[in-house]
């Protein structure tokens, strides 16, 4: 009791933070779960990385070493395998064609997909939801190859880069719209309202306010579409005829049938060269890629 006659209560002890307030069995259980998670992650990482590393090591071996030393490091690093694969498979033309078609596809998909995703996420127009659902259904629809081929023949677009880019853009737009819409829905509408108060139209609000903060969504769409366009084989097989217009998948296929039964080390060298742009792109944009994939789930 203090001087005023009021009984004073003892101060409530601070609650321990972290795992200190948990029982011993609960702490052990959580530590075991954390340990198991780390071991599982390490295991799956090695499971994914080892085939890639094996392909790289095999590309530097001799033909005899591929048989006698299957799982080990190269005894002598054969850089000539890369030179021979580059020249024989004509990878300079193939890389240029794949870069042009992949970058062209990504640029068009990012522009069109971001505009459509913004409209589906922020504009209030009757019928937009029905159109969006239609786009989602087309993600699983098979490509109409024969009508597409007939159309491109009549337009004179076969055996050309633009004839390969446009079908890939049409096939990649539904997924891009889905990703952009999910990301734009997480952006507060107050930002757009403030831009409209300042006199911006919806288009300029999109350009000046939304696009500068859309790096994660753009990176996600860019990586997914670049990988898909880079590895596109069936459309290229149907539409491309000349050697100079071959993309990476076609060039490696032709090289494999010509040399793969006897020169496996050169085939592996060609595969490593074809994989490098994808690996470099993902390493550069991996953080934005993960943020873009999780953006839609963070909306409260």
Q: What distances in angstroms separate CA 91 from CA 52, 194, 246, 253, one per listed residue? A: 20, 51, 9, 12
Q: Which residue has the tokens 């997909």?
A: 113
- What span, in angstroms and rounded, lies between the C-alpha atoms of 288 and 294? 10
Per-residue pLDDT of the chain (300 residues), as tens digits, is 454 555 444 445 555 555 555 567 777 888 888 888 889 989 988 888 888 888 999 889 888 888 888 888 888 888 999 998 898 888 889 999 999 999 999 999 999 999 999 999 888 888 888 888 887 777 776 777 888 888 889 988 889 999 999 999 988 999 999 999 988 988 888 888 888 888 888 888 898 888 888 888 898 899 889 999 999 998 999 899 888 899 999 999 888 887 766 788 888 999 999 988 888 888 887 777 776 666 554 444
- What span, in angstroms and rounded, lies between the C-alpha atoms of 242 and 238? 12
Q: 33 is written with which tokens?
A: 């779960």
Q: 269 is written with which tokens?
A: 């060298």
For residue 260, what pLDDT is reported?
61
For residue 281, what pLDDT is reported?
83
- What span, in angstroms and rounded, lies between the C-alpha atoms of 221 and 202? 22
Q: 129 is written with which tokens?
A: 């939801």
Angle between helices 161-185 and 264-295 (to 10 degrees): 30
Q: How far apart are the first and last CA of the chain?
A: 48
Is residue 259 within 8 A of residue 190, CB to CB? The reply is: no
Angle between helices 80-88 and 264-295 (to 10 degrees): 80
* Backbone phi and psi for residue 216, each to the nearest 5 degrees, phi listed first: -60, -45
- What span, in angstroms and rounded, lies between the C-alpha atoms of 209 and 200? 10
Q: Which of 170, 275, 278, 171 is nearest to 222 (CA)?
A: 278
Is residue 240 within 8 A of residue 108, CB to CB? The reply is: no
- What span, in angstroms and rounded, lies between the C-alpha atoms of 40 and 152? 49
- What span, in angstroms and rounded, lies between the C-alpha atoms of 66 and 86? 20
pTM: 0.79
């Amino acid at each position: 009791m203090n001087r005023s006659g009021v009984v004073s209560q003892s101060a409530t002890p601070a609650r321990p933070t972290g795992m200190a307030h948990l029982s011993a069995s609960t702490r052990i259980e959580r530590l075991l779960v954390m340990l198991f998670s780390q071991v599982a992650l390490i295991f799956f990482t090695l499971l994914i990385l080892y085939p890639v590393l094996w392909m790289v090591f095999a590309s530097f071996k001799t033909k005899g070493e591929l048989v006698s030393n299957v799982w080990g490091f190269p005894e002598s690093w054969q850089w000539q395998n890369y030179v021979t694969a580059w020249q024989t498979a004509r990878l300079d033309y193939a890389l240029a064609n794949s870069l042009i078609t992949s970058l062209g596809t990504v640029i068009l998909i990012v522009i069109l997909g971001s505009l459509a995703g913004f409209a589906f996420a922020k504009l209030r127009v009757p019928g937009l939801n029905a159109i969006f659902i239609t786009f989602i259904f087309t993600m699983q629809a098979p490509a109409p190859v024969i009508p597409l081929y007939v159309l491109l023949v009549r337009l004179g677009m076969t055996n050309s880069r633009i004839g390969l880019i446009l079908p890939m853009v049409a096939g990649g737009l539904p997924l891009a719209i889905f990703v952009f819409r999910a990301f734009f829905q997480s952006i507060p509408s107050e930002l757009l309202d403030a831009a409209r108060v300042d006199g911006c139209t919806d288009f300029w609000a999109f350009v000046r306010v939304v696009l500068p903060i859309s790096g994660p969504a753009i990176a996600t769409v860019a990586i997914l579409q670049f990988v898909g366009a880079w590895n596109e084989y069936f459309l290229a097989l149907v539409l491309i005829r000349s050697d100079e217009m071959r993309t990476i998948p076609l060039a490696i296929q032709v090289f494999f049938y010509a040399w793969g039964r006897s020169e496996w080390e050169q085939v592996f060298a060609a595969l490593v060269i074809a994989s490098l742009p994808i690996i470099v792109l993902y390493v550069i944009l991996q953080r934005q890629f993960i943020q873009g994939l999780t953006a839609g789930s963070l909306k409260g």
